[in-house]
Amino acid sequence: MSTAQPIMDAEDMRDADWSIVDVLLEGRANAPFIAEKTGYSAQYVRERLGRLKQDDIVEPLGHGLYELNEREVPKRGSGE
What pLDDT digit, counting tens, does each position of 8-27 carry?
Answer: 888 889 999 999 999 999 99
Domain ranges of the chain: 15-71
CATH architecture, domain defined by 15-71: Orthogonal Bundle (1.10)
Q: Average pLDDT, whole number, for the chain?
A: 90
Phi–psi pair at 77, nearest 5 degrees: -90, 170
Chain centroid to Cα 54, Å, comes to 10
Contacts of 31 (CB under 8 A, 6+ apart): 42, 45, 46, 49, 64, 66
pTM: 0.86
Q: How many CA atoms lie within 13 A of 14 on its CB side?
A: 12
Q: Where are the beta strands (DSSP E) in 1-80?
A: 29-30, 58-62, 65-68
Amino acid at 67: E
